[in-house]
């Protein structure tokens, strides 16, 4: 079984340098609804494509993939959500909001909408689903989600480029070793 993973196209969103908590949470929402810039065209036929329910994932599939394919939307592929790590009117650097928010996620802090163990469970459910079907597929997904998925794929005997960082519109192919 072969899984082709494609990270969504570049999101046309400019993050500000500083936010207070309310502004950061609003920016995260706006990012999720922002348009994308697609560059590549990929000709894939006869394969199932799984996309998240977030706009950038489905729109990437629509814009860069050529050919008749079955597209299945699933929230199991949604990016790991991020929100402000504390309620404050003080403006902090965007990088601090992102870094500390991800650290909260990592230590399973309930301030984040989803904690690490829930993300790992969601990823495992998706991998179980596609492994049961034993059918080649394409997954159009998200960067942080992908980095977590790679860690789980290693334990499930997938072969492929296991580097955790993936660029926008980069294609990675994995094989399940039986």
Domain ranges of the chain: 2-176
Q: Give tens-digit pLDDT for 37-86.
A: 988 887 766 679 999 999 999 999 988 887 777 889 999 999 999 999 99
Residue 43: strand pairing partners: 66
pTM of the model: 0.91
In whole angstroms, how far apart are CA 7 and each of 11, 27, 122, 149? 11, 21, 18, 12
Question: Based on the number of CB atoms within 10 Å of its own CB, is 142 exposed (0-12), middle (13-18) or buried (19 or more)?
Answer: buried
* CA gap 12, 66 in Å, rounded: 22
Structural tokens at position 80: 């790991």
Q: What is the pLDDT of residue 46?
A: 61
- Determine the 3-state secondary structure of 88 from DSSP: coil
Q: Which residues of the chain have pLDDT under 50?
A: none
Beta carbons within 10 angstroms of residue 104's beta carbon: 20
Q: Helix, strand, coil % (nearest 5) of the chain?
A: 40, 20, 40
Structural tokens at position 131: 């492994």
Which CATH number fits the domain 2-176, given the four candidates 3.40.50, 3.30.70, 1.10.490, 1.10.3470? 3.40.50
């Amino acid at each position: 079984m072969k899984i082709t993973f494609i990270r969504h196209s570049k999101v046309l969103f400019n993050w500000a340098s500083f936010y207070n908590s309310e502004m950061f949470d609003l920016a995260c929402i706006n990012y999720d609804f922002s348009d994308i810039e697609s560059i590549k065209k990929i000709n894939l036929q006869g394969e199932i494509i799984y996309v998240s329910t977030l706009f950038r994932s489905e729109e990437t599939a629509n814009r860069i993939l050529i050919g008749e394919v079955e597209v299945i939307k699933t929230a199991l592929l949604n990016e790991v959500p991020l929100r402000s790590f504390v309620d404050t009117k003080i403006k902090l650097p965007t990088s601090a909001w992102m870094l500390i928010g991800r650290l909260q996620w990592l230590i399973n802090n309930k301030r984040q909408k989803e904690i690490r163990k829930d993300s790992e469970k969601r990823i495992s459910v998706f991998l179980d689903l596609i492994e049961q079907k034993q059918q080649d597929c394409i997954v159009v997904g998200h960067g942080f989600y992908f980095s977590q998925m790679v860690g789980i794929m290693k334990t499930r005997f997938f072969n492929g480029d296991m580097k955790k960082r993936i660029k926008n519109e980069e294609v990675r192919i994995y094989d399940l070793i039986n």
